[in-house]
Chains A and B, each alone.
Chain A
Amino acid sequence: MSITIQQINKGFGQFSALRDINLQVPSGELVALLGPSGCGKTTLLRIIAGLETPDSGQILFDGVDTTHADVRERQVGFVFQHYALFRHMTVFENVAFGLRVRPKETRPSNAEIKKRVHDLLKLVQLDWLADRYPPQLSGGQRQRIALARALAVEPKVLLLDEPFGALDAKVRKDLRRWLRRLHDELHVTSVFVTHDQEEALEVADTIVVMNHGQVEQVGSPQAVYDNPATPFVYEFLGNVNAFETPQGKGFVRPYEISVSREADAQSIAGSLTYVHSVGSLVRLEIKRADNEQYVDVELGREQFNQLSFKQGETVYLKPTQLRVF
């Protein structure tokens, strides 16, 4: 199911959380709402779910106006940041909840519920936890149970609020891949909120970068990373060095700078203050001689080994690519 968001505005008292949001989520896509905390991304997700009502504007599901439809009628699966599992119910009952609360006419039989729940638990690879209670599970397991519970009602749209926010780095990475594969399998239109650019770049088909209640840029991960539309997107996605240039503010990625021992007409002198060499990339921290600002540079390990810079040495920098706004 496609989602169309038209001119949504939302304020909380004096604070304007969303300003004139327009967005199109094509059917079957996995979209990331990416931005710093307080940018309005969670509010937008809650408005799509029907947990929050916009002050003005419209939400269309498959072209049908659902702005004022109740959350119960929208058929959305919502996965909460802290999972919101029902503590007093077993994992099985948590997943079965959405089926059990249906009115008698549409409620599946007990045998059918049992089969559906076990299928879902198998899908999230936690069939063996059916009789446990949520407090007995790890964070990653809770997350997957929350997802299974949301999927049980066969939602037309899956909405996830910071799905990996509360997990440690390793589990996060695994779950990320797993969610991507799950989405490829199910093809349910999904929107997830994150403040982690790496997460958005790795998982999403489309990234919506938000800041201060507005959409800064919409595009594929590659498009937003390689061609940031605004200075904000440049700074938010990946590491970047910002320069003041006569034409305006200039941005250079750390790997778009060449470092050498020889000066030439355009290069900038600086002293190498720190070398961080773990992994395939070596990160150099260089203090500019002219304005004492720090510049981050990334070199391939082989290149670094050839040049073998020493800490404290004077080096000369030259951007290979510079984008000015």
Chain B
Amino acid sequence: MASHKKKHLLPGFGLSLGYTLVYLSLIVLIPLAAVFIRTTELSLHEFWAVVTTPRVVATYKLTFGASLLAALINLIFGLLTAWVLVRYQFFGKKVLDALVDLPFALPTAVAGIALTAIYAPNGWLGQWLEPHGIKVAFTPLGVVVALTFISLPFVVRTVQPVLEDFSAEAEEAAASLGANRWQTFYKIILPAIWPALLTGFSLAFARAVGEYGSVIFIAGNMPMISEITPLMIITKLEQYDYAGATAIAVVMLVISFVLLLLINLLQWWSNHRHGNK
């Protein structure tokens, strides 16, 4: 008699799946659902009015724009850092490697204050930039700088192990077939690390979107210019406008979700195109 019930090779599937679902529900799903439920206190009309005030719309643009920019900057420089850390031997490499994690470990407020002190018009770097008309602190540029700082480790740490695993043989094969260094990089190495790069990019982006602590110090928080969406939510909360705060939170949640979905789709597409199923 053949059993039609599929046997799992590993025991405990039911228990571990159940635990995972309960855990995810408690930590992620229920709080997120609460956000949506709280929003229903507003009528559709009120909701639309809250989330489309010009001041709020300006914060979306800044938050998502600056986060994308920061993630892009880290995509390039994070790759460069990972490359240097994997490919070259030099004095102080271990220290540099440890430094990469610093933005993780540092309380974000500390990072914010430090960045503000350096980039303020009378700060170490600010005093040199100011005469050239470049203002960093208390401008959207400052927001990008802070977000770049806190999302630095993601691309480095996702790409590093993939680069380490990448076989030298493939590079040597490319060279023996006549490819120069640049051709080897963009035709052979880049496609291999592309999924990791994309993952690092989306993690950096997600982290930057949610960042609050470091940004509010350096941004100056001028309405319509340098306010970020998380600050907007806090402002509403401080005014006991819980429904308004959650309404903005819902918009943020939806935009983040859609963007991450798009990145995942891009990843899925590039994986399929390269035939590794």
Contacts and interface: CB of A to CB of B under 8 A. Distances in A.
B175 A133 contact: no
A80 interface: yes
A76 B173 CA distance: 11
Interface in B161-217: 167, 169-170, 172-180, 183, 187-188, 191-192
B179 to A, nearest CB: 4
A97 B169 contact: no
B275 A133 contact: yes
Given A84-B167, A86-B188, A135-B276, A78 B178 contact: no
Interface in B235-277: 274-276
Main secondary structure, interface of A, reads loop
A72 B275 contact: no
A72 B179 contact: yes
Given A88-B191, A133-B275, A49 B176 contact: yes
A78 B179 CA distance: 13
Contacts of B167: 82, 84
Interface string A126-165: 0000001101100000000000011011000000000000
A23 interface: no
Interface in A78-108: 78, 80-82, 84-88, 90, 97-98, 101-102
Contacts of A72: 175-176, 178-180
Contact of B176 (A51, A86, A136): A51
Contacts of A84: 167, 169-170, 172-173
Interface residues of B, number: 20
A86 B178 CA distance: 15
A116 B274 CA distance: 23
A136 B275 contact: yes
Nearest to B274: A88
B256 to A, nearest CB: 30
B276 A97 contact: no
A80 B173 contact: yes
Q: Which of A78, A132, A136 has the most CB of B within 10 A?
A: A78
A71 interface: yes
Contact of B169 (A50, A82, A153): A82
Given A87-B274, A98-B177, A101-B177, A78 B172 contact: yes
A77 interface: yes
Contacts of A152: 177
Contacts of B274: 87-88, 133
Query: For this complex, into which size category does the number of interface residues on chain A fall?
Result: 20 to 34
Main secondary structure, interface of B, reads helix
Contact of B175 (A71, A85, A136): A71
A101 B180 contact: yes
Contact of A78 (B176, B188, B191): B176
Contacts of B183: 101
A101 B187 contact: yes
A97 B274 CA distance: 16
A141 B179 CA distance: 24
A69 to B, nearest CB: 12
Contacts of A98: 177-179
Interface string A30-67: 00000000000000000001110000000000000000
A99 to B, nearest CB: 9
Q: Which of B169, B176, B179, B183 has the most CB of A within 10 A?
A: B176
A85 B170 CA distance: 7
Q: Which of A49, A81, A84, A136 has the most CB of B within 10 A?
A: A84
A132 B172 CA distance: 23
A150 B169 CA distance: 14
A20 to B, nearest CB: 26
Q: Which of A51, A85, A86, A135 has the most CB of B within 10 A?
A: A86
Given A80-B169, A82-B169, A71 B275 contact: no
A97 B176 contact: no
Contacts of A136: 275
Contacts of A49: 176
Nearest to B179: A101
Contact of B275 (A77, A80, A88, A97): A88
A50 B177 CA distance: 12
A51 B172 contact: yes
Contacts of A82: 167, 169
Given A84-B172, A86-B170, A86-B173, 7 more contacts: A84-B170, A84-B173, A85-B173, A97-B174, A97-B187, A136-B275, A150-B176
19 contacts: A50-B176, A71-B176, A76-B176, A78-B172, A78-B176, A80-B172, A81-B169, A82-B169, A84-B172, A85-B173, A86-B188, A87-B276, A88-B191, A88-B276, A98-B178, A101-B178, A102-B178, A135-B275, A136-B275
Interface of A: 49-51, 71-72, 76-78, 80-82, 84-88, 90, 97-98, 101-102, 132-133, 135-136, 149-150, 152-153
Task: List the 10 shortest-distance A-B pairs measured between CB atoms, nearest first.
Answer: A133-B275, A98-B177, A84-B169, A88-B274, A84-B173, A101-B179, A78-B176, A88-B191, A101-B183, A80-B169
